[in-house]
Structure 1
Amino acid sequence: MMSSTKVKKNIMLTYVDLFAGAGGLSEGFIRNGFEPIIHVEMNVDACYTLKTRLAYHYLKNNNQLDIYASYLKAEISRADLYENLPIDLLDSILNLKIDDANLNYIYKQIDKNLKLRKFKKVDLLIGGPPCQAYSLIGRHGIDWDNDERVKLYKLYGKILAKYKPSMFVFENVPGIISANKGEYFNDLRSYYDKLGYNVDYQILKAEEFGVLQSRRRVIIIGSLKSKKLVYPDFPKMIEKYTTADVFHDLEVLKPGDSISNGKYKKSASEYQKKYHVRENFDFYTQHITRPHNTNDLAIYKIVQDKWNNEKHRLKYNDLPKKLRTQNNISSFLDRFKVVDLNGLSHTLVAHIAKDGHYYIHPTQTRSISVREAARLQSFPDNYFFEGSRTAAFTQIGNAVPPLMSQVLAKTIKEILIN
């Protein structure tokens, strides 16, 4: 990593976020003083989440967090909240599919916002195309020649070629490296090389960045060849904390219960203080659980008992026959899984939006709530996810953990300003 003992802290760096999702990756860059020029995201609920998060940062910077608190408490509407924001900030969220038909409009909006905010260039491009096609499960049935999802890196590259930022950050699942027998990643790397970028990658562990989750992500970073930069040396840590440090202070819920404005029932843990989980407010939102049928609840109790008392992960074919609702007992046998209270959570993915079987609460007979899932992804309690319960789970499962992106952003900033 290129570094210097003198850091030019007053330099404002700009970035564009593609396939922005709920803003987990973007959050780390905002926390490190980067200026977002445009976020592009095709999901409408995620776009509202991005706007609401920008509202939080804007109001915080202007000592008006009382307005944001009023929104979280449902005392004012979302429209009322957004009325407090500058138009250019709201317009910086583009609810668009990134495709050839929309590229010119995206360019127009980037240029417009650069001019409005008196910036000369885009310093950084960040984002990660939808990863389902590259995941191990998602590869079955993929048409590598015609599936538009596997060509999204070229659209990313067109925007890269247009603005020539000093660096780019491309986040994805580890499966992208071996997808289509490695040919896909080789094509990606060759394409960006032709655009003038040196490209390298690492598979990073989220738990080494303070996230209470065993999560692997590929972070591909490119830098302009003329800059002669090297892949960043991201500082890593091994923490002693467990999921118990973020599950202890929320109200006990039954399946289908929901708390939209809850009081913490215990003091903040050391982890919560260190990573600002409960920052700004003395209440939390979106402690929302899904309902479960009696059959699933019976399974949950058995699976919990095996895990909590024997540390044994029960397989589907180990369940009593009367509880089995599916005939397939030869594959996908780990359909039910308890979150480890005394260790790290297993990887949180967007499938949690479909059912909670893979994310059973360790001590309460239900799957985890929206707020619990958000905490496992290292989102602070002041982060609000717009849309339905299902939409919130999807956004959380697809996100880059903010604690991870915060370290990426801090290290990249040190490189760019030296």
Structure 2
Amino acid sequence: MGGGTKPAVLSLFTGAGGLDLGLEAAGFETVCSVELNSVCRRTLKWNRPQWNLLDEADVISAAGHLSPQDFDLSQGDLDLIAGGPPCQPFSKASQWSPKGRRGMKDDRAETVVAMLDLVEAFLPRVLLIENVAGFLRGQVSAKSFIDDRLATINHTNGVDYQLVATVVNSADFGVPQNRHRVIGIALRDNLDLSLPVPTHEAHPLTAWDALHDAPEEDDLPDPQGYWSGLLPAVPEGQNYQYLTKRGGGQEVFGYRTRYWSFLLKLARNQPSWTLPASPGPATGPFHWDNRPLSVREMLRLQSFPDDWALEGTHREQVKQAGNATPPLLAEVFGRQILRALTSANLPDQPTLLRNRAAEPPPTATPPQPVPPEYLDHVGAKPEHPGTGLGPGRMTA
């Protein structure tokens, strides 16, 4: 157990603490956190000062000298290294740009090398990775690199790490948000791990379950940007495509000529759409009250408890919330890892799972007509011409 009463975690790329909070709820203890972003560091210090936030904030630098002896451990004593390396080289957005399809060739992927350097230095019993699906799936994923490096670690150190990767939807485990993530787990020396079975696949928690009793806030965010005035004309659970000739509203836009989250609204009776980290003024999901979500509402949709506070400006808080691992998802997988490490008798229900609302949501508010100031935009519009024939080809 790394010398303590609870299994010990070395946390890398800790961010706003979602992964660690979930592991803590599962029964782990974070003995050290490594996080570079100064605002995230303030968030961690405020919420969990006992997590021993390392002064060496850069994982790449820390990998050059951090050792088990720094924590009075021997090599092989540490229970878990956990983290999600920066995902930009592997995200969906990067795949739309030829320059973005670099994967492990991207300079930012040096963080993956550093993470595996620390695995070799500590030889933890388990490695846990949470990231975007493209991190361990697809043509430019890091999986083959990680597999090869683990094979080298195995050969050099006489151990046996085997990486298992699974893509999950957070909503299937009780997070009130459709958020697809990859979970990679490498167990040392044939530890027996059973992946968690989805518990909410058929009946997910909804945005209403998460937000119906949210604390009242005096300073809710106002809509910004020119197009936000169209939000009342979009039904709950839909986006700008309602305002195309294939939707049920007036034709303001061409079908599939905007990104999916443009004017995207929550539906009370469904899980939230995936929360972005850097939304533009027209980027959803928006609240059904036709406004941006507050940071507290975002944290609820991510399964954070209400006593978790984010530091920084509003934009910095939104980025932290959108980038975070849903703590409940981390708890679910952490409980399975704990079962593999110990004979712990864990309660059936995760502690971070939110109860369903006692009453069903009210009837959705019907969409309103397009406001007068947008009527000049109403009229026939060309549709997206098809796959591979996007805006750059439309005039060719």
Scaled by the length of structure 2, the TM-score of the pair is 0.74
> How far apart are the structure 2 equivalents of 1:251 and 1:33?
28
Q: How does 1:265-344 map to 2 (within 5 A)?
A: 288-293=220-225, 295-303=226-234, 307-308=235-236, 312-315=238-241, 318=244, 330-332=257-259, 334-344=261-271
| Structure 2 residue matching 1:200: 3-state secondary structure | strand
| Structure 1 residue matching 2:89: 3-state secondary structure | coil
Which residue of 1 is the match for residue 125 of structure 2?
166
Which residue of 1 is the match for residue 178 of structure 2?
214
Which residue of 2 is the match for residue 350 of structure 1?
277
Which residue of 2 is the match for residue 195 of structure 1?
153
> How far apart are the structure 1 equivalents of 2:108 and 2:265?
32
1:76-121: per-residue Cα shift (whole Å, max 9, x none)? Answer: xxxxxxxxxxxxx37434462222x44335x16x643x23x99993
1:16-51: per-residue Cα shift (whole Å, max 9, x none)? Answer: 010111110001121233221111111111111111
Asked if the contact 1:289–1:370 (Cα under 8 Å) also holds between the matched residues in 2, the reply is no
Give the direction of change, closer, same or farther, for the CA distance of 1:346–1:291 in structure 2 (3 Å limit). closer
> How far apart are the structure 2 equivalents of 1:119 and 1:378?
35
Report the CA distance between 1:12 and its aligned residue: 2.2
Which residue of 1 is the match for residue 63 of structure 2?
103
> How far apart are the structure 2 equivalents of 1:341 and 1:388?
28
Give the direction of change, closer, same or farther, for the CA distance of 1:333–1:381 in structure 2 (3 Å limit). closer
> How far apart are the structure 2 equivalents of 1:248 and 1:95?
41
Which of 332-341 and 89-98 deviates more? 89-98
Give the direction of change, closer, same or farther, for the CA distance of 1:51–1:337 in structure 2 (3 Å limit). same
- AA matched with 1:104: G
> How far apart are the structure 2 equivalents of 1:251 and 1:13?
34
Does residue 1:185 correspond to 2:185, yes or no? no
Give the direction of change, closer, same or farther, for the CA distance of 1:215–1:183 in structure 2 (3 Å limit). closer
Give the direction of change, closer, same or farther, for the CA distance of 1:241–1:329 in structure 2 (3 Å limit). closer
> How far apart are the structure 2 equivalents of 1:313 and 1:365?
12
| Structure 2 residue matching 1:92: 3-state secondary structure | coil
Q: Number of residues paired by the alignment?
A: 326
Which residue of 1 is the match for residue 394 of structure 2?
none
Which residue of 2 is the match for residue 15 of structure 1?
9
| Structure 2 residue matching 1:204: 3-state secondary structure | strand
| Structure 2 residue matching 1:351: 3-state secondary structure | coil
Which residue of 1 is the match for residue 40 of structure 2?
46
> How far apart are the structure 2 equivalents of 1:377 and 1:392?
13
Q: How does 1:239-254 map to 2 (within 5 A)?
A: 239=203, 241-250=205-214
Asked if the contact 1:316–1:329 (Cα under 8 Å) also holds between the matched residues in 2, the reply is no
1:229 to 191, 194, 197: 191
Q: Which has the higher helix share?
A: 1
- AA matched with 1:296: W
> How far apart are the structure 1 equivalents of 2:103 and 2:204?
42
- AA matched with 1:302: A
Give the direction of change, closer, same or farther, for the CA distance of 1:119–1:12 in structure 2 (3 Å limit). farther
> How far apart are the structure 1 equivalents of 2:260 and 2:332?
36
Does residue 1:127 correspond to 2:91, yes or no? no
| Structure 1 residue matching 2:63: 3-state secondary structure | helix
Does residue 1:28 correspond to 2:17, yes or no? no
Give the direction of change, closer, same or farther, for the CA distance of 1:391–1:291 in structure 2 (3 Å limit). same
Report the CA distance between 1:321 and its aligned residue: 11
- AA matched with 2:134: G
> How far apart are the structure 2 equivalents of 1:366 and 1:122?
46
> How far apart are the structure 2 equivalents of 1:251 and 1:12?
33
Which residue of 1 is the match for residue 371 of structure 2?
none
1:176 to 110, 135, 140: 135
Does residue 1:365 correspond to 2:290, yes or no? yes
Which residue of 1 is the match for residue 333 of structure 2?
408
Structure 1: give runs of 5+ residues left out of the alignment.
1-9, 56-88, 259-287
Scaled by the length of structure 1, the TM-score of the pair is 0.70
Which residue of 2 is the match for residue 282 of structure 1?
none
> How far apart are the structure 2 equivalents of 1:401 and 1:149?
23
